[in-house]
Amino acid sequence: SCGKCTFCRIGTHHLLTILDRITKGEGREQDLDVLETLSGEIKDGSLCGLGKTAPNPVLTSLRYFRDEYEAHVRERRCPALMCRSLTAFYIDLDKCARGCDACVGSCPVDAIFTTLDRKKAIDQGQCVKCGECVVACPVEYAAVRKVSPPELAPIIPRPPEEESPP
């Protein structure tokens, strides 16, 4: 925004605020109507081509992907598995190879641990949802899964730390 007209300068900021809230699972039912109304007002009230076209991606996505918006708002889930706040990763224990540590080394926050039966699991409270474990998991196993809503990820407790001999 060049900042000259209020519709574009403030209106697009409000669009971003609402979209951000929706992707975090904090959307409200009226947000979809507000997005449509506000987008139309920005288009009609803006003075230049930038302001008149800025709301187009919002309007187009509402038109063609309204069901996804509704899933975000009503069910707090992301069907496309793209919104970090609405997704979680977990390791399918049936597919995980016992000795493979590829995902463990890739995790920047040490959220992946070894279970009692020597498979890997993700500490959901520690995971930052970066997706590095997906990239690191060998294709022949493809054990890392992504789900939405995050509550679908199984919670596997970390085993107690082994005592080191003195």
- What pLDDT is stored for residue 97 in this prediction? 78
- What pLDDT is stored for residue 73 in this prediction? 98
CA distance 9 to 44: 14
- What pLDDT is stored for residue 162 in this prediction? 46
- Average model confidence (pLDDT) across the chain: 93
Burial of 114 per CB tally in 10 Å (0-12, 13-18, 19+): middle
Residues of the chain with pLDDT under 70: 98-99, 162-166
> What contacts 149, CB < 8 A, 6 or more positions away?
25, 75, 76, 77, 86, 87, 88
- What pLDDT is stored for residue 4 in this prediction? 84
- What pLDDT is stored for residue 99 in this prediction? 67
Residue 140 CB neighbour total at 10 angstroms: 9
* pLDDT, tens digit (0-9, with 9 covering 90-100), for 51-92: 999 999 999 999 999 999 999 999 999 999 999 999 999 999
- What pLDDT is stored for residue 165 in this prediction? 47
- What pLDDT is stored for residue 69 in this prediction? 98
> What contacts 77, CB < 8 A, 6 or more positions away?
71, 86, 148, 149
- What pLDDT is stored for residue 3 in this prediction? 79
Q: Which CATH architecture has domain 87-152?
A: 2-Layer Sandwich (3.30)
Q: Where in the chain is the domain with CATH 3.30.70.20?
A: 87-152
Query: 6-75 maps to which CATH number?
Result: 1.20.1440.230
Q: Which residue has the tokens 């793209």?
A: 82
Strand ranges (DSSP E) for the chain? 88-91, 112-114, 120-122, 144-147
